[in-house]
Structure 1
Amino acid sequence: MPSERPSPSAAAPAAPPGPVAGLLLFPGAGADRDHHTLVALEQALAPLPVRRVDFPGRAAGRKAPDRAPVAIAHVRAESDRFAADLGVAPDRILLGGRSFGGRMASMAVAEGQPAAGLVLLSYPLHPPGKPDRLRVEHLPDVRVPVLAVSGERDPFGTPAELTAHLAAIGGPVTTVFVPGNHAPKDDAPIIAAVARWLAPA
């Protein structure tokens, strides 16, 4: 069974406040928009509009991930485009994705991109085997509700590490740990966690 651990510092409701108009998802550095978890989420969350978007480098056929400024600008542009297509304000769009994609979405929000919340799947807290190289500097500037779902054996961040460091986020945080490593094979617990988090909204 997945373990769910709301952040002890979260005083506000953990779910997004108000109606969510859509979910915009970005893939990890080594994958594309058709990653099985992203596809499964789109199918399971219907009729909620879910859009899966590649980063520019992947769309151009490059294997190396885009530099952060390029990726963040892409997140912001695609979020605004998705909101316009749905006829809503950008603050009604959930942003997120797997690993690098979720991290770039969180950095975009930290830099001021409006969002209803963040869905961070397998957040890469640090490179494997290098727990001193934390990717957390921007987290205090994230002031929206956050759901973080990671594998219990993820080498990019243990449950204890993620629980401790994601507490720096300025908004309410819910952490859920599911069986698996950085790329859990079973999408069902991930889908269940996202659907449960969205239910009050």
Structure 2
Amino acid sequence: MSTDSTDSTGTAGTDTDTTEEVATPAGPARITWRRAAGPRLLLALGHGAGGGVEARDLRALADALPAHGVSVALVEQPWRVAGRKLAPAPGRLDEGWRAVWPALEGEGLPVVSGGRSAGARVACRTAAELGARAVLALAFPLHPPGKPERSRAGELLGAGVPTLVVQGGRDPFGRPGEFPGGTEVVEVPGGDHGFAVPKRAALGQEEALGVITGAVREWLTRE
């Protein structure tokens, strides 16, 4: 494992973010650590196929959770670190996640595997084999927009560990009511696939992010 650390100002838990590069078969991945003081859990979060770890939900969780004893690791896949615009096939994404896992386990904490969109799919597909404590699926792409018959529910149901889905109320990749019975789903009212809410919505953007961080914080107290 190769390491390249830099610091930037943090807002909770510790004073700095630390970045670390991890070798994978597809090139280096990057972990941005936001460590808690006296952590009890580590939440690892992967990004989606259309963006990186700067996504509003990932950053909100990294800001909020360390103050509650949960360290956060934001994981950038090798394709993103390399500056490529298109994500590789799911199998390659899983390969990158597996390669990063030893660095996550090296913190000596139970690891909750998670991510948004494509990253949530990766977490679900690999959770059981990697020994994840649980899975957090943010904006899980249950199906392509307008094609509910092409369901990916099997990936979600096959995670094999406790799973929480946080889903926007108007997400075209699957609205909360479309998920299989028995799935634990938290709805972000008015949220789209990126959890953005309309300007005239009853729930403001910061309030929407508060729904996410509050629900995840409460769920992690049970894990």
Band the TM-score falls in, shorter-chain normalisation? 0.7 to 0.9
CA RMSD of aligned residues (A): 1.7
Q: Residue 4 of structure 1 corresponds to which residue in structure 2?
A: none
Match status 1:96 vs 2:114: yes
Q: How does 1:1-201 map to 2 (within 5 A)?
A: 21-46=41-66, 47-84=69-106, 86-88=107-109, 92-110=110-128, 112-164=129-181, 167=182, 173-179=183-189, 180-185=191-196, 186-201=208-223
CA distance in 1, matches of 2:146, 2:74: 30
Judge conservation of contact 1:21–1:49 (CA < 8 Å) in 2. Answer: yes
Letter in 2 for 1:72: D
Task: List runs of 5+ in structure 2 lacking aligned partners.
Answer: 1-38, 197-207
Name the SS of the counterpart of 2:62 in structure 1: helix
Contact between 1:96 and 1:119, CA under 8 Å: does it hold in 2? yes
State the Cα distance separating 1:20 from its structure 2 match. Answer: 5.1
- Check conservation: 1:56, 1:66, Cα contact below 8 A: no
Q: Structure 1: give runs of 5+ residues left out of the alignment.
A: 1-18, 168-172
Give the 3-state SS of the residue equivalent to 1:105 in structure 2.
helix
Using CA pairs under 8 Å that are at least 6 residues apart, name the structure with larger relative contact order, 1 or 2: 1
1:53 Cα deviation after fit = 0.9
1:138 is paired with a residue whose SS is: helix
- 1:126 Cα shift? 0.3
Q: Distance in 2 between matches of 1:64 and 1:93?
A: 28
Partner Cα separation in structure 2 for residue 87 and residue 101 of structure 1 = 23
Distance (Å, rounded) in 2 between the aligned partners of 1:152 and 1:138 = 21
Computing the radius of gyration over CA atoms, which structure comes out larger, 1 or 2? 2
Calculate percent identity across the aligned residue pairs. Answer: 38
What is the distance in 1 between the residues matched to 2:105 and 2:195? 30
Please give the alpha-carbon distance, in whole angstroms, between the structure 2 residues aligned to 1:124 and 1:141.
15
Deviations 1:58-83 (A, max 9, x none): 11111111211111111122222111
Structure number with the higher strand fraction is 2
Shift of 1:199: 2.0
| Aligned partner letter, 1:93 | V
Residue deviations 1:75-106, cap 9 Å, x none? 1222221111x134xxx200111111111111
Helix, strand or coil for the counterpart of 2:215? helix
The letter for the 2-side match of 1:184 is F
SS of the equivalent of 2:179 reads helix
Distance 1:72 1:157, change over 3 A: same
* Change beyond 3 A, Cα 1:146–1:135: same
The separation in 1 between residues aligned to 2:82 and 2:147, in whole angstroms, is 31
